[in-house]
A and B are shown apart, each in its own frame.
Chain A
Amino acid sequence: MTQTAARAFPPRRFTATRISQAIDGEVRAPGGSGTVEGVHRHAVNIRWRTGLLTVAHESMGGLPNGIAVDPPIALDQIGIVPGVRVESDGATLRVPAASVAVLLVGAASWSPTMPVLRGLAAGTRIERAELALALAADQAPRVGLGPLTAGLAGHRASIGSLGRAAARSLAEVLEALWHGRLERAASAASPLIGLGPGATPSGDDLLVGLAAGLAVTDHPLAGAFAAGVARDAAGLTTSVAESYLHHAGRLEFSERVQTAALAILTGPEAELRDAVSAALAWGATSGVDLLVGLLVGIQAGVAPRLGERLRACAGDGEVAA
């Protein structure tokens, strides 16, 4: 199998442009090795000794566990298959079976830590989140948590079972956070772990978004809540989703999530609109799932009506304006 791949595909050489600070040390340490776990068009997931690493096209932006590379050759077309070995000598990451090399020297070190916006007025947070929700409700796909955006925007909508489950958990999480009950918040979030279709199930994306919303608005329980969810997620979801939750537990997020959060909270309206449209285009349903979590998270503790709306969505699923 290995020899076949090596014969069929020419050698490829990529240059790492950015490496997340969260994994920089381990990936640039000589003698490290891992195994390819999943191969996609724009990303390859590698099981490393310390966790999951992702080698991804620069166009995907910074990932908390990621190495961004150039040129943007389709990574699922160059002979890398699950199970093959990956090695690092500190300067180069190699997949010998596919004759692929990623030059690490010269790559910039990128911080996945979510910037914190302190002192934002409650009214601003609600107003900006409501506007983003209204835009998302108009544009969101009718898959994943897309239908829930309509319900949260106050439209009459059929939410679906996934949306109802998400709304129920989110309402309980918000209430628990309001009362400062950390354990109860984490326990209310646990039904969402691994819930829904896809390589990163919708429930996990939602929780990453929620943690991001709490982190960027400097919620006092953001770190503890996210860390609790990450601990609970171990072994209960796919390894990719688990990795994102693990980093969210350290308040580390992808560049896309960081950019969206900042644009929604502080950017001019045109930037907010662009951020919503861009977020909805991520992956199959991940974008809308993350966005719902983010918009709920940035309103946590300041928008009592949001809890009511979530409970309405969690009910019969038919939400009236």
Chain B
Amino acid sequence: MGKIDYFSFHRVAEYFPLLLARLHITLIIAVSSLIIGLVFGTIIAAIRLFNIPILKQITTIYISFIRGVPINIQLFIVYFGLPALLNPIFLKVGFDLNLLDAFYFVIITYAFSSSAYLAVVVTAAIQGVDKGQQEAAHSIGMTRGQMFRRVISPQAFHIAIPEFGNAVVSTLKDTSLAFTVGVVDMVGVISSIAARTRHSLEGYVGAAIIYFVFCVLLERIFSSVEKKLKVYK
């Protein structure tokens, strides 16, 4: 048996442009699901902070579910479950959810998932603001809206930054699983490259390098923002 060529850096370099050509799909998934997640997460946080009965219990179960179930399982549940649940309604308006691209299901799943994590971050941040601040704001006659806008949210924002950064990074990392439902993103494209060249390891290494750069970069950005904000404290 001759020597088999298992790994070459040459191939990593060769694959790199092919992976980068798919990077935008990964980024679109991450960014759009984070934006939707932040909106929903804030709503969930409001429900929890205002202690709305029944709804609060539902959010507790929701958050526990999202935190307890691996993201790839959530992905498949949404992928199979959403059409099963909503197709009767959508078919009436002439739209078949089964024909919807997997890409959208991935965004929906990650939006669900990040909303739970971000809800926890937002809740903790707002609760982290000293009670005395609220009382002080009340005592000088601020309305609730003013108090939230001018006293609580700036401080809560500051508290939330490190955890928010973690949530962003972990959502970005989770996008690496989108290929399991057939999205041809940066990771998904590797299998089609490998079908041609019969070498997949280099593809995974390339994708890992790209993820690595993004994660480290994001962490740096968030920690520098955190430091900047400390100056104002």
Answer whether A and B are interacting partners.
no
